[in-house]
Structure 1
Amino acid sequence: MPSAATPAAGGTPAAAPGGDVAVRVRRSDRRRRTVTAYREDGGVVVCIPARFTAAEEAEWVQRMLARLAARDGRRRLGDDDLEQRAARLAERYLDGRARPTSVRWVDNQRSRWGSTTPADGSIRLSTQLQGLPAWVVDYVLLHELAHLLVPGHGEDFWALLAAYPRSERARGFLEGWSTAEAARTGAPAPAEDADD
């Protein structure tokens, strides 16, 4: 039995194929040609131009669900994988001094790549990073690990990241990727980092 979504502001619930995910369709008068989809609150939001017919909407919902499924198949590193990766990076680049209590993926970070809460040692990475090159994910993980040692973005912080040979390249990649996505979707680009 298909599950229905509660309409969000500007959103219309749609039945999902197989009934395993709630889909909300958001129409926008400002959106002219682009269609985007992302995960939110356990469901999927598909953003389409307001002028789309019901048939176009149905077609694009199917396309975007297929794209998300394909992307999920390519990119799924679990939380355990992230924790292991963080431990290796901390050992290699930070002399094992950064020891997070948890490292996990989160769906609710649409405006930043990662965040750290130094008080409890937790690190969260946006699921938007999934599917990006491993060296980019490693940079964001290392960035967040460094915040367990240095809370701000001063000289001491950047000195810690200097050991990672792809720091500048990864920062450039993330900046370019987020700028391109923002231009394509009209959504704000994620920031490199935010500290709690």
Structure 2
Amino acid sequence: MRRSARRRRTISAVWQDGRIVVSVPASGTAAQEKAWVETMVARLTAQRDRQATEHGPEGLVARAEALSRRHLSGRARPTSIRWVANQSTRWGSATPSRGTIRLSTQLQGMPDWVIDYVLLHELAHLIEAGHGPRFQALLAGYPRLAEAKAFLEGASFAARRGLTGEHAED
């Protein structure tokens, strides 16, 4: 737990080095702090467990099938989707001849709509190999296309500069 003199009413919690760090107002009582920490730990743990299910192999396939049906008329049918840690410059990759998709573990923890965009991008590659007009047309129906691209550009920019988004003091 981190007490912050700058905080007046808000509480935040983040995963940091495999542990949950809860930032609370320094003016809180011991009972309030205990309740805040319990609430935030429960919330982050539940979120992690839900994401592990949704972002596990079966969850990724289900998401891909739903995205393919919704945006690609069901034409993209991946044979496997998995997380990989060896993609430092790409968010995802696809091998159309094998129908495989790999997603960078760097996406984990990003908003679902960003992960869905990358997954849809790779699904589109199972249909169209390049990034030409036909490929772009496949992605055009994604409602948060520009927002997801901007988010990933910002994340890439921050990563290149070693920025983590974590503050020394809340």
- TM tier, shorter chain? 0.5 to 0.7
1:117 aligned partner? 95
2:118 aligned partner? 140
Q: Which amino acid aligns with 1:88?
A: A
Q: In structure 2, what is the Cα distance between the partners aligned to 1:110 and 1:73?
A: 23
SS for the counterpart of 1:184 is coil
Cα distance, 1:136 vs structure 2: 0.2
Q: Which aligned segments of 4 or more residues in structure 1 are displaced greater than 6 angstroms? A: none
Cα distance, 1:64 vs structure 2: 3.1
Q: Which amino acid aligns with 1:64?
A: D
Cα distance, 1:182 vs structure 2: 1.5
Cα distance, 1:113 vs structure 2: 0.3
Percent identity between the two aligned chains: 55
Determine if contact 1:135/1:170 at 8 Å carries over to the other structure: yes
Pairing 1:104–2:82 present = yes
Structure 2 length normalisation: TM-score? 0.66
1:176 aligned partner? 154
Q: In structure 2, what is the Cα distance between the partners aligned to 1:169 and 1:142?
A: 14
1:151 aligned partner? 129
Q: In structure 1, what is the Cα distance between the partners aligned to 2:158 and 2:129?
A: 29
Pairing 1:66–2:66 present = no
Structure (1/2) with the larger helix percentage: 2
Q: In structure 2, what is the Cα distance between the partners aligned to 1:160 and 1:65?
A: 38
Q: Which amino acid aligns with 2:17?
A: M
1:85 aligned partner? 63
Structure 1 length normalisation: TM-score? 0.58
CA shift digits 1:91-130 (9 cap, x unpaired)? 0000000111111111111221000000000000011101
Cα distance, 1:73 vs structure 2: 3.5
| Runs of at least 5 residues in structure 2 that lack an aligned partner in the other structure | 1-15, 21-43, 164-170
Determine if contact 1:83/1:104 at 8 Å carries over to the other structure: no
CA shift digits 1:58-113 (9 cap, x unpaired)? xxxxx63537xx89947532111111000000000000001111111111112210
Q: In structure 1, what is the Cα distance between the partners aligned to 2:99 and 2:117?
A: 18
Please, what is the CA RMSD of the aligned residues? Answer: 2.1
Q: In structure 2, what is the Cα distance between the partners aligned to 1:104 and 1:83?
A: 9
